[in-house]
Chain A
Amino acid sequence: AQKITQTQPGMFVQEKEAVTLDCTYDTSDPSYGLFWYKQPSSGEMIFLIYQGSYDQQNATEGRYSLNFQKARKSANLVISASQLGDSAMYFCAMREGGNNDMRFGAGTRLTVKP
């Protein structure tokens, strides 16, 4: 069964605008972590932001914030003030408390237009 779902294969955003990348997840484990990674064309997976299932507040890291809605099992990534360098694939991932593996979604390709 698919644990992480990213429903947007591709997204476009105008430079300097904000964009939301969707991610929903499925787990019965009360303890889990949610991660977002950026993968530019060079191929390296770059860690962006983390949200723990017990965290009371939404995570923020600079221009990245995570809109965590636990009851809806969604963990959308918000990128504010988009830059041309933000153009890349973005992956949502989850790691359940007792597991060693991290499950990734299929990714969303973000293109920032000048």
Chain B
Amino acid sequence: GAGVSQTPSNKVTEKGKYVELRCDPISGHTALYWYRQSLGQGPEFLIYFQGTGAADDSGLPNDRFFAVRPEGSVSTLKIQRTERGDSAVYLCASSLGGGGTDTQYFGPGTRLTVL
């Protein structure tokens, strides 16, 4: 079946602009996660959705970052007033139920470059 998809694959923007990154999880997966991966590092957790609600947004770095999942499937990560430090690969993952031992399956990521 289809895996997790993310669009766009690459996004270049200017400092101060607004961007939206989209994630389409595996069909039937109720849990969805966003991670950020900076160069040379492992992914860092941003936010977790169970269904439509953000069950844990403790990883969002500040209030410029926001994410939604209005119908419990596709999610959008929104970044306002982008800064050069936001440049990274943004990874989305989904899992069947969201439990502690649930395996997360990742998408190919969106590479964000803020000039």
Contact = CB atoms under 8 A, between A and B. Distances in A.
Interface residues of A, number: 29
Contacts of A31: 100
Interface in B66-115: 89, 91, 93, 98, 100-101, 103-109, 111
18 contacts: A31-B100, A43-B89, A43-B111, A44-B108, A44-B109, A45-B93, A91-B42, A93-B42, A95-B101, A99-B100, A100-B33, A100-B56, A101-B33, A101-B48, A101-B59, A103-B45, A106-B41, A107-B41
Interface of A: 4, 31-33, 35, 37, 42-47, 50, 52, 91, 93, 95-107
Interface of B: 33, 40-45, 48, 55-56, 58-59, 89, 91, 93, 98, 100-101, 103-109, 111
